[in-house]
Amino acid sequence: MNGLTKSTRMLIGGELVESEGGAWMDAINPATEDVIGRFPAGNDRDVAKAVDAADRAWPQWNAMGVAARAEAMRNFGRKILERADELLEVEVRDTGNTIAPMRGDVKHGVASIDYYAGLGYELKGETIPATPDNLHFTVREPYGVVARIVPFNHPVMFATARTAGALMAGNAVVVKPPETASLSALILSEIAREALPPGVFNIVTGTGAGVGAPLVRHPAVKRIAFIGSAGTGMAIQRMAAEVAVKHVTLELGGKNPMIVFPDVDPQSIIASAIAGMNFSWQGQSCGSTSRLLLHESIYDEVVAGLVERINAIRVGDPMDETSQMGAINSKVQYDKVLNYIEMAKREGATLLAGGQRPTGPGFEKGFWVRPTLFGDVTQDMRIANEEVFGPLLSVMKWSTFDQALEIANAVDLGLTASIWTNNIDDALGAARRVRAGYVWINSVGPHYPAMNYGGYKNSGTGREEGLEEMLSYTEQKVYNIALRR
C-alpha cells in the first residue's frame, strides 16, 4: 500500500479514534486504482459517541460568546492553511480532480470560515411592537447538534466552508465525509482537534448506510445539512421524518441549462460552454451547465467549435499542473457515466466528441472517460432530463423564446441557469421565467461571496453560502415581557 497520509483516525469528542467495530475501508486513487490509504469504517456506535460528545460540547461553545467563537474559528482556519499543501495533494489523489483549480478548495474553505467568523454579530433577533404593555423580542439560539453530510466532489471544502455557519451560530457539528474521498477528513480531524474545544467538531468516516443513516436517525440531531444527490436527499427526508421532526436542508443535483440567444457571437460562446461544464473535475459539479440550449441560427457554428475544443482538452494525471481533466471519482460513478453514454446513443443522440476511455500510457488503469459531447438531444431522452454528474455535455436546439424556456424548465431539477444575450428584455425575461435558484447572465460558473446558493424543485431546500445559511442553524425564541410600570 502506498500510504499517502499517516493520518488514519477520525475525531470524536476531541480524541482521534478508530471505529468501535475495528473495521476499515480502503481509499482508492481513481487515476491509478492504487490503494492510497485507509480510513475507519464507522458504525452506529461511533455515531452515537460523536453525537453525545457534540451534545455535551455545544452549550459551553455557545456560552463562549461571539468574539471567542470567532477567534477559535479563525485559528482553525489558520491551522488548515498551515497544512494546505498536504490537504491539496491528498484531495487530488483521492478525488481525481486536477490540481491547479483544486488549490482554490482549501482557500475557499478557510475564506468561508473567516466570513462566518465575521458575521457572528448578525445572530440577532428583532423587537416587535405587538402590544404597548409588553416588550416583545426574539433571540436566536443554536439547535445544538448539527449533522453535516458531504459529497465526493469537494470534500475538504464542504467539510470546512459548510460547517462554519453552524459553528458560528453556537452549534457543535458531526461531519460525515464521502466514502470515496475520506482521506482529507482524517487530516482535518488532527487540525480540528488542536484548534477547537473537544466535541465541537467531530468527524465520523464510513458509508452512507453505516454512518450517514444512523446520524440522520439519531434523536439528538435536530438539524441535518446535506449536500449530495436528489435520491439520497429524499431518503434523508424520509428517514428523518420516521424518527422525529427535524430541520433538513438539502443541496442536491442539477441538470442546468445554458441558454444562448441568436444575437451572441457564436465563437465567443464556445469557451464559456466548456467552462460551464467544469471539466477540471470531470463535470462532477452540481452547478455544471450540462444542457447547452442553442438558438437554431448559431447551432452549427457553436457545435463545430465545441467539437474542436473538446477534442483538444488534455485529460491526464490529476497531479500534473497542465492536465485539464482528471479521473472520474469512483468505479460506481465511472460505470454510471459509461451507462449514460450508451443510453444516449441508443436514444438517438449524436455522439460528436469523446464517448470512450482515453488510450495510451497512463490510462491502462483508472476511471477515465474523454470529455463527451452529444448533439441533437431532444427532451424525450433521459440524457436531457437526468443528472449524469460526469463529463457529458448535451446540446439542444430551439427556435423561439418560449420554446427555450420550456426546455429549460422541463426537468425536475432547478439549481443553476446561465443566460447569454445582449438584449436586456430577453436576459431579464428568461431570468424571470427560469425555475432555478442561481442565475448567471452573460457568465457561468462562479459562486460569489455572500450570495445564497441553492435549488428550486428537486435541487434542494434551503440556501447556503450567505447570511441565511448561518441563521438557518438557529431557532428563534420569542420573549413577551409584561411592562408593569
The residue among 120 and 228 lying less far from ligand NAD, judged by its C-beta, is 228
Rounded least distance, CB 214 to ligand NAD, Å = 9
Three-state DSSP at 301 gives helix
The residue among 184 and 421 lying less far from ligand NAD, judged by its C-beta, is 184
How many helices (H) and strands (E) the chain has is answered by: 14, 21
The Cα–Cα gap between 360 and 445 comes to 32
What is the C-alpha R_g of the chain? 23
Rounded least distance, CB 303 to ligand NAD, Å = 25
- H-type helices in 64-98, by residue range? 66-82, 84-95
For the chain, how far is it from start to end, CA to CA, in angstroms?
76
Where along the sequence are the contacts to ligand NAD (CB under 6 A)?
Answer: 149-153, 176, 178-179, 207-209, 212-213, 216, 227-229, 232, 235-236, 251-254, 286, 387, 389, 415, 455, 460
CB of 40 within 8 A of CB of 10? yes
Which three cell numbers, joined as nine digits, stand for 141? 439560539
CB of 187 within 8 A of CB of 83? yes
The residue among 151 and 375 lying less far from ligand NAD, judged by its C-beta, is 151
Looking up cell 422541463, which residue turns up? 410
Rounded least distance, CB 253 to ligand NAD, Å = 3
* Residue of 91, 179, 251, 469 marked catalytic: 251
CB of 215 within 8 A of CB of 22? no
The residue among 278 and 421 lying less far from ligand NAD, judged by its C-beta, is 278
Length of the chain: 485
Rounded least distance, CB 139 to ligand NAD, Å = 30
The residue among 109 and 375 lying less far from ligand NAD, judged by its C-beta, is 109
Rounded least distance, CB 62 to ligand NAD, Å = 26
The Cα–Cα gap between 300 and 397 comes to 10
Q: Residue 397: exposed, middle, or buried by beta-carbon count in 10 A (0-12, 13-18, 19+)?
A: buried
The residue among 213 and 393 lying less far from ligand NAD, judged by its C-beta, is 213
Rounded least distance, CB 366 to ligand NAD, Å = 18
Sign of CA dihedral 148, 104, 197, 465: negative
The residue among 79 and 162 lying less far from ligand NAD, judged by its C-beta, is 162
Helices 84-95 and 66-82, axial angle in degrees (round to 10): 70
251: annotated active-site residue: yes
Rounded least distance, CB 158 to ligand NAD, Å = 7
The Cα–Cα gap between 22 and 197 comes to 26
Q: What are phi and psi of 257, to 5 degrees?
A: -90, 140
Burial call 190-212: b when 16+ CB within 10 Å, e when fewer: bbbbebbebbbbbbbbbbbebbb
Integer angstrom CA distances of residue 22 from 46, 108, 330: 11, 34, 24
The residue among 170 and 178 lying less far from ligand NAD, judged by its C-beta, is 178
Rounded least distance, CB 211 to ligand NAD, Å = 7
CB of 421 within 8 A of CB of 264? yes
Three-state DSSP at 214 gives helix
Give catalytic residues, as residue numbers.
251
